[in-house]
Amino acid sequence: MDEVSGFCIKQLGGGNNGSSGGTGTKCGRWNPTTEQVKVLTDLFRSGLRTPSTDQIQKISSQLSFYGKIESKNVFYWFQNHKARERQKRRRVLVDEPNEFHHQEKLSSTKYLAELNQVNSEAERVPETLQLFPLNSFREPMESEKRRLFANDSCKENSYSIGTEMDHPTLDLRLSFL
């Protein structure tokens, strides 16, 4: 389903998403490349469920190498993936109450992660994810969602973090490379 195990691969040609393909730069919706999906899935399986803003930024920066991507894409991806994983699990539970999952030995590593996650649902991301410790936690002050996601059209704006993000930091995104 979620895994492209062999043949569910959308016809994403190699490293290019057709969405913005040649004809008319249609900024439709994000069409993740297989590499992007792979990385995101890896992160998810490693336990990351709700990445912080910083983490989203970093992941997005990383994935931008493989193709066009925005932070919101990463955000939505995790939201959706998490929700659907849970939903799927719930449905399976009711559909097959007396039948156990076949425990695919290796192909469904997802189930393991899933189970692991379910055990301690509340809030337990094994956060080894602190990129840089001195992190300036950005106060989650509620700024309304007004321009939450900026226009789809790619903007040239380099960093707008100056407005609120004041952590001096080695803010070179690729510090972890």
Partner DNA sequence: CTAGTATGAATGAAGG
Partner DNA sequence: CCTTCATTCATACTAG
Span 47-76, contacts to DNA by CB under 7 A: 49-50, 52-53, 72-73, 76
Which of the listed partners (DNA, a second copy, none) does 103 bind, with a CB threshold of 5 to 8 Å by partner kind? none
Q: Tell me the CA distances in angstroms from 87 to 39, 47, 81, 174, one per residue in order.
A: 22, 18, 10, 35
Q: Please give the residues from 8 up to 47 whose contact with DNA meets the rule CB under 7 A.
A: 8-11, 18-32, 37
Q: Which of 42, 46, 65, 79 binds DNA (CB under 7 A)?
A: 79
Q: Please give the residues from 51 up to 90 whose contact with a second copy meets the rule CB under 8 A.
A: 53, 56-58, 60-62, 64-65, 67-72, 75, 88, 90
Residue 135, token pair as written in the block: 């992190």
Q: Please give the residues from 102 up to 161 whose contact with a second copy meets the rule CB under 8 A.
A: 102, 104, 107-108, 128-129, 131, 138-161
Q: How buried is residue 108: exposed, middle or buried, by Cβ count under 10 Å (0-12/13-18/19+)?
A: middle
- The CA distance from 54 to 91, in Å, is 33
